[in-house]
Structure formats: C-alpha cells, structure tokens
Amino acid sequence: MNKNKEKLLLGGLVVSLGLLGNSPQIVKADHLAASHLVSGNDTKSNVDSQSPIATNEGNDQTNAADSDSKDQTTSLISVPVISTKNNENSDADAKAANQKDVPPAVTHGENEQQKIATKANLISSDSNGAHLTYDPDQEVATISGNITADSNDVPRTISQFFLTNKPKKIVIDGPLAIKGSAAGLFSDLNDLEEFEGLSNFDTSQVTNMASMFSNDKNLKSLDLSGFNTSNVTDMNKLFKSCSALTNLDVSSFNTAKVKDMSTMFNLCTSLTNLNLNNFDTKNVENMNSMFYACRNLTALNISSFNTAKVTDMSAMFGMCLKLSNLNVASFDTSSAEQTVGMFLYCMSLNQLDVSHFNTSNVTSTNGMFAFCTNLTKIDVSHFNTDKVTDMMEMFSGDSGLTSLDISNFNMDSVTSSDNMLNGLAGLNYLKLGAKNSLSNTGLDTPGVWVNVGDGTTEHPQALKDKRWTSPQLLTNYNPAKDADAYVRYNAAVITHYQDQVGNQLAPNDVQTGGLNTPYTTKPKDITGYALAETPANASGSFADNTITDVVYLYKKAPTKLPVNPNVPSKAADVIVHYQDENGNKLTSEIVLSGNVGDGYTTGAKDLAGYTLKSRPTNATGFFSTQTQDVTYIYTKKNNNPSVNNPTNSSTKPEKPNKQKKPTRPKPQKAVSKQHHVKKTGRRSQIIQHSTIKSHNLSSTSKRTNVLAKTGESKESNFMIMFTGIIVTGTVAVIGWFTRKRKEK
C-alpha cells in the first residue's frame, strides 16, 4: 500500500477513535483567570502589585471541565508564565516583606533547604491545604499538605503551578493526601524527569486518576508501589505519552473499581517492560487505545484480563510494532462494539488466536488486523458480522497472510469495505461465502484463482469457468453460485485423469513453477481402466499467470479371468428328509456337507410298508451358502398280497404283512469328497461326489469314482448280477473255443 493509503488509514483512525486529546471539556491555561496562579498567599520577591502577568487577555472561564467527565484531560496548553525578573521600581520595604513571607522549601537536606529558603526569587503558593514552592535555580518544585476539597479545581490549581514553573523534579515532602479527583495533577510537564517521595502521597481516597502523568515526555522512572488505587474508577490517559519511561510496574494497583482504561499507556513509546500482573478488569468498559504505540514492548502479559464488559477495544494494541506474541485467550468480546484498528501495525506478531472472539455486537472492524505483516493465518471463520457496517482495510497490508476464510461473513449491512483485502501478496487460499461482497475490497494479489470445488486444496477441481485473476474475481464473483474455496497460482500445470466422456477418474495433480521452467507429467494406474490417449502437452514449460491443463484419457479395460482359482469356502448343509404324505418323519435325515459350488446327489430309501410317491426336483444340485432341504415323499403300500406281491405257480407266496429286511445297510451321514472340476458349456459338470458310509466292504474291492447313491431297488441289483453272469459265461465260452482251435 502506498503512503497516501497509509495516511488515509491512520488519519481515519485518528479521527474516528479520538486518539488525540480533543475533548470539548479540555481546560486550557489561557482560559483560566490569573488569580488561579497567584491566589491565596502567593508571594514573589521583587514583584510589586503593578507587575504584569503574561496572560491572554479577554479569555474567560466558561470551559471549566466537569469533574466527572470521562473524556477529561488536562492537556494545559498556552500556559501563562509569571515573570521572574526583578522590578527595578520596587522599593526595599516591599522586597523585605515578600522575603519574610516566603516559606522554606524542602529538598534534599537542611543546607540545601536553607539555601533555597533565602533565595530572593523563590516562588511559593498555598492552595486548599497544599503548600507548594519552586526553586528556579534548582528547577525543583516541592509539595506537601492535606487536600480535602473534592473538586477538579484542586488538582487543576496545583497543576497550573507546576506548568507555570516547569520543574525538572518534583519532591513530595511529608504527607500529601488528596480526596476525590487527582486528574491531570502532574500532566503536561515536558521538563519533568523525576519524582522524589511518591511514597508520601496518600491516594486511598482518590477516585479519578485520569491524565495524572500524561504527556510527561521526559519522565524516566516512576515508583508507584505505594499507591492505593482501591477507590479509583477512572485511569483514562494515566500515563499517556510518557515516552521516556522504559520500565513501569503497576502490578500493585487495585483496579477492581476501574471502568475506564482507555489510552492508559498510549504512546509510551520507550516502554520495554510493563508489569500488569494482578490487574482486575472485570468492571472495565473502555480499553480504547490502551496500549497504542507502545512500539518497543516485545511481550505483554494480559492473561488475567476479564473483558466481559468492554465495549470499545479500538486500537487497543495498535502500533505495538515489536510485540511478537499476544495471548488473548482470556478475552470475552461479547460486549464489544468497536474493534477498529485493534491490532493495527502489530508487525511482529507471528501468531494470534482470535478464533473464539464473539463479534455479534461489533459494528466496525475498520483496520482491525491491518499491516500485521508477519501473521500467516488469522482464523476469523466464526466471526459474526451481522451488525458490522464498516470493514474498511480490515486485513489491508497483511503481506504474510497465506490463507483466509471469510465465508461466514455477512456483508449485507456493510457500507464500506474499501481495501479490505488489499496488499495480501502471500495469500494462496481464500474461502468465500454466500453473503460476501468483493467489488470494493481491493484484492490485488497476482496470479490466477481456481476453485477447489469437489477436490481438495492440494488437488482442486479447478473448473474452467471459475478461474480468475484478482480483478476478474472482484468483477465476476456471484455469491449465489460462486461461493467456494479458491487457491491461487502464479503459474501451474493441472493434470486431469478422465474417461472419454469427461468423467473424473482420479484426483487432479497440481505442479507449480517459475516462468519457463520445465514440467513433466505422467499417467496413473486406475483400476478397471486402460490409458487411451497421452496428451501432447504431457511435458512442457510453465507460463506466468497461466494455468496449463494436461488431460489423460482412459477407456474401460477388458475383464480378466483370475489367474488362480478362488480358495474354496465351506457351504451350508444339504439335509435329505424322508416323509409320508402328511409330513410325518419316516426315518432319520441325511446331512450332506461340502464347499460352495460343489455338486451333490441324493437318492430314495427302501422303507418297509411304503413306496416312493415323488422324487424331489432338487435331488441333485450344488452346495451354496444357504441350507437346502431335499424331501422325498412316500405313500403307504396296499396290504393285498395279490397286488403287492405277484407270484407264479412255482413260487411259494410269502406270508402277508411280512416284509423282507432290506439287503442294504441303513444309510448314514454322507461325507463329501472333492475331486477335480471341469467346466463345460453353460455350467460346470461335476466330477466330484459325495460318498455315503456303508457296512464293511471287502479289503480287495476298489473304490469306484462314481457318485454315491442310496436305496437302490432289488430289481436293479438282480439285473446287474444277471448281466454279469451272462457276460462272464460268454467270455468263458469264447476262451474255451480259442484254446481248442490252437490245440488242433
């Protein structure tokens, strides 16, 4: 920002905050009657009643300040000066009389005291119980006494004495007690360098310390450890412009009743150490410019501050140029209405946590964080700006800021946002919201802003219709449709991975670099896709203020069969049931086990007195993950022997109702055996089978590689045996004829 803008900001703050002493109730010395300077027993040697007093004629006393005024200051400019030259026309008697009435002045010792007491030009004054003397040769003013009048006129009268005589040193000799206001008591003493005897000052009944030491620009030290501030309500401008103080310890102050601490340490430009430990601020309402321009403070402990009642925090830490760390975690800003320039020109701050600030009542954030050049982040994402009307230069000149989220800002009521975002040279991330208005914010960061969209900060979506330079963003931004996070690049290459119709298959990659420096991109392995096209600009050079898009196109990859078969998984059981037509169980079930995909087969049983009625459709099938039931239904046989057991004349009929026992053992639980699987046609043919345990088999019999069956009929067994006999006989006959032929 140029100097003119800087002057505009500072000038605006000065006018709006009243950082200069411009109260309409200021009491100036040229408005005070001369009697204020020489009232009571004021005496001066060698000055007769005709001696002129250098005062501004014609001025009246109509501007006397109200003692309870919060903005009161005793910046007493144009101070009347009492002449100290001897009047050559005065007579010896007047001179002697004046010398006789001069009270002795107390300084460092009796000899010095006596020396001052005998001086011809010693000045003294008594006012409301206070006794004052001034030795112009030593430039020392002395004060003592008990001031009981509860009026601003008392400290104003005493202050006039000091202002008139301009001491370099003030000595409080003996007890000095003031009741009520001590406002401006020692203010505007440009030559004052030190105090002696402040421990003699009883402040227990003082209620107002406004401007008490303000503008004492050469005051080098203050020992306030004896001050009793338990009844003080106003500390406004207490140390304002004490620009020579380097150390100040006010940790002994009792501030429980204080309501106003505005400009309390304002322009204490040489302070390097300020001890505020034990400050109780629970009743403070105004902290405007409290530490403004304490530009040599490097640390400030305000962790004990309770700011729940503070309404004005304007310029509170403004111009604290060397303050590197500031903990405002204890701050309650719920009552704050003004935060104008609160952290203005805190150029050394490297961190500042204001994320907890409640700004629901704030009306102006003008210059709040302006020129905090060392801050990289300011978290204002939760700021409530519903009542804010002025955001002028809020972040102006924050050149180190890298990210900023103002998406929660409601700018509907804002009438001034001039240069709000001006001078943010390092800003790379900006999140904008649906109630942001950018047109007058002065965003001037170079480069191109691209939207994050459905991507991330590292891999932005970067839609091509939302890529703007800063001036374009200010012009084109439509809160209703463009609210989004944006990232900025001076020069970038964005690599896209898309299918042939433009669908994004993988996150974008972003590369940045300097002007004309080379770049290289490469494709990604994407499951289910194969690279269809390599872009011509897969390699190239960066171009300044340009976003280069590199697009890799992919097509669907053919499906590949798995190289290795799947590992078998255990299937659910197949349960074979044998029931009559009414669902009654006729014999025990057979449970078959196997792996998913294996084949199974079942068979009917010979059951005495029953004949098979229907064979189930799932008598054979495949094991699966679901339990399967295979049910054979039987019907009772007819008891008529002629029907059920036909006979011929050569066969003796069996007794009725007597059935032969089955020749085969009762089927037992089947055990699955897995063999190789060969796949053909529509489905795999099964070369695996289940075998059923049976009675003892001959040790010489071979296990057949066929599917096990249960309950084969007697007729089947007979036919097998008969066929075997015929085949065996045929083979034997052929063999016999063959041997006979060979023998012949």
Q: pLDDT tens-digit profile of 316-349?
A: 999 999 999 899 999 999 999 999 999 999 999 9
Q: Does pLDDT of 181 surpass 70?
A: yes
564 pLDDT tier (thresholds 50, 70, 90): low
130 pLDDT tier (thresholds 50, 70, 90): confident
Q: Encode pLDDT of 188-214 as tens digits.
A: 999 999 999 999 999 999 999 999 999
259, 283 in Cβ contact below 8 A?
Answer: yes
CA–CA dist 290, 260 (Å, integer) = 10
* pTM, to two decimals: 0.60
627 pLDDT tier (thresholds 50, 70, 90): very high
Q: Is 612 helix (H, G, I), strand (E, B) or coil?
A: strand
67, 151 in Cβ contact below 8 A?
Answer: yes
CA–CA dist 505, 245 (Å, integer) = 67
Output the pLDDT for position 720.
65
Phi, psi of 579 (to 5 degrees): -135, 160
- Please state the rounded mean pLDDT for residues 595-624: 89
Output the pLDDT for position 158.
86
Q: What share of the chain in percent tops pLDDT 70?
A: 70
Mean of the per-residue pLDDT values of the chain: 77
Output the pLDDT for position 89.
35
CA–CA dist 120, 227 (Å, integer) = 36
Taking CA atoms, 397 is separated from 367, 377, 452, in Å, by 10, 13, 25
Q: Is 561 helix (H, G, I), strand (E, B) or coil?
A: coil
Q: Encode pLDDT of 711-739 as tens digits.
A: 444 455 556 677 777 777 777 777 767 77
695 pLDDT tier (thresholds 50, 70, 90): very low
- Please state the rounded mean pLDDT for residues 160-172: 94
CB-count burial class (<10 Å; 0-12, 13-18, 19+) for 290: buried
Which letter, b or e, does each residue of 571-597 get, where b requires 16 or more Cβ atoms within 10 Å of its Cβ? bebbebbbeeeeeeebeebbebbbeeb
Phi, psi of 740 (to 5 degrees): -60, -40
Output the pLDDT for position 51.
29
Ranked by mean pLDDT, the top range of 154-158, 426-430, 605-609 is: 426-430
Q: Does pLDDT of 76 surpass 50?
A: no
Ranked by mean pLDDT, the top range of 83-92, 470-479, 667-676 is: 470-479
CB-count burial class (<10 Å; 0-12, 13-18, 19+) for 4: exposed
Ranked by mean pLDDT, the top range of 127-131, 246-250, 527-531, 672-676 is: 246-250
Cβ atoms < 10 Å from Cβ of 97: 12
Both tokens assigned to 742: 């060979």
Taking CA atoms, 472 is separated from 243, 442, 490, in Å, by 47, 12, 15
Q: Does pLDDT of 113 surpass 60?
A: no
Q: Does pLDDT of 162 surpass 70?
A: yes
Q: Is 539 helix (H, G, I), strand (E, B) or coil?
A: strand
Provide the 8-state DSSP code for 704.
P
Output the pLDDT for position 257.
98
